[in-house]
Amino acid sequence: MLTFTIKKLQPVFTETLTPPACHSASIAELPDGSLACVWYSGSFEGSKDTVLYWSKSGSEGGWEKPRVVVELPGLSTGNPVLWHDGEKLNLYFVILYGDWWSEAKVSYTSSMDNGATWSPKKLLWDEAGTMLRTPPLRLTTGEILLPIYDERAWCSLILRSEDNGQTWRKYGDATARGITIQPSLVELEDGRVLAYSRSSKGFIYVSWSYNKGLSWTASQPLPLVNNNTGIDLIRSDEGLLLVHNDTATGRHRLVVSHSTDEGNHWKLTAVLEDSEGEFSYPTMIQAQSGKIHIVYTNQRQTINHIEVVLSR
């Protein structure tokens, strides 16, 4: 039986940021074993004063004081995603060229020095309504799959690169328009790619690719409750882990589920939060140490970080 032991729960920051409403955190491990976290902060979701904040874990195990890493006066930014590709740290994010996510486009910047300096910001995908939420997946054969979604059509998609992120092509419309967004990906032991998506129908939806992301099976609901909110799915040393809000209403309960059979069956492993308010938009990684790290929104006021040890 898998034991999910919470070793540490702490906010990434305790001060009130300017602007104050925080959401949609992403976490990555750096080559030296330290952690990096990024999120957006604005007066409200979609506000023109929204910026991206960044912090790194300190030598004493806490987090450094947050600093603004992306600020575009007059334009809102959102849904940042951190990912280290083995050579550089990549920060993907969206810019709102209008009043809502339906006018968003995906941009990126990268750092060769673990976030001390960043390259000029560039547009990655010039199609309005394109959003992202979860980290890329590098397949064992080398291709990179970046999960995206179409805010206008409400459809889960991917961007696929065969040249380490230099160029991208879009794939993955899994006949779920108006139903799914925010896919999260893992590669299965048999080479298939598994995609779990947030949905508007009350359950997590699943789709598979048998050809490295070039095409996808029709999305179907799973017996996993999802109240139209973000999830994250990873492969750990102990099987697949899913962090999600398993509630029919609200975003107050946040849990981790575990699968030992490639997602065919799931068992609730840990309850991270279960009280009034909002605990949402989790992102999860397994570090080189074997520890699991999860960051998520806490009441839109701060970002929580949970450190977990897996054992049997």
Look at the alpha carbons of 72, 130, 39, 88 in this order and tell me if their dihedral is positive or negative.
negative
- The predicted pLDDT at position 60 comes to 62
Neighbours of 202 (CB within 10 A): 12
Percent of the chain with pLDDT over 70: 99
CB 123 within 8 A of CB 105: yes
Indicate if the pLDDT at residue 312 is higher than 90: no
CATH topology of domain 3-311: Neuraminidase (2.120.10)
Indicate if the pLDDT at residue 114 is higher than 70: yes
CA–CA distance, 56 with 36 (Å, rounded to integer): 4
Amino acid at 53: Y
**In the chain, how many H helices and how many E strands?**
0, 25
Indicate if the pLDDT at residue 7 is higher than 90: no
Average pLDDT of the residues in 70-86 = 96
Neighbours of 82 (CB within 10 A): 25
Tokens 């946040």: give the residue: 254
CA–CA distance, 34 with 95 (Å, rounded to integer): 28
CA–CA distance, 101 with 234 (Å, rounded to integer): 26
Amino acid at 214: L
pLDDT band at 174; cut points 50, 70, 90: confident
CA distances from 211 to 129, 171, 190, 215 (A): 26, 11, 11, 7
Indicate if the pLDDT at residue 110 is higher than 70: yes
pLDDT digits (tens, 9 = 90+) for 120-166: 999 999 999 999 999 999 999 999 999 999 999 999 999 999 999 99
Neighbours of 27 (CB within 10 A): 26
Whether the predicted model's global pTM rises above the 0.75 cut:
yes
> Across the chain, what does the average pLDDT equal?
95
CA–CA distance, 196 with 206 (Å, rounded to integer): 5
CB 13 within 8 A of CB 304: no
pLDDT band at 4; cut points 50, 70, 90: confident
Domain ranges of the chain: 3-311
Tokens 């995603």: give the residue: 81
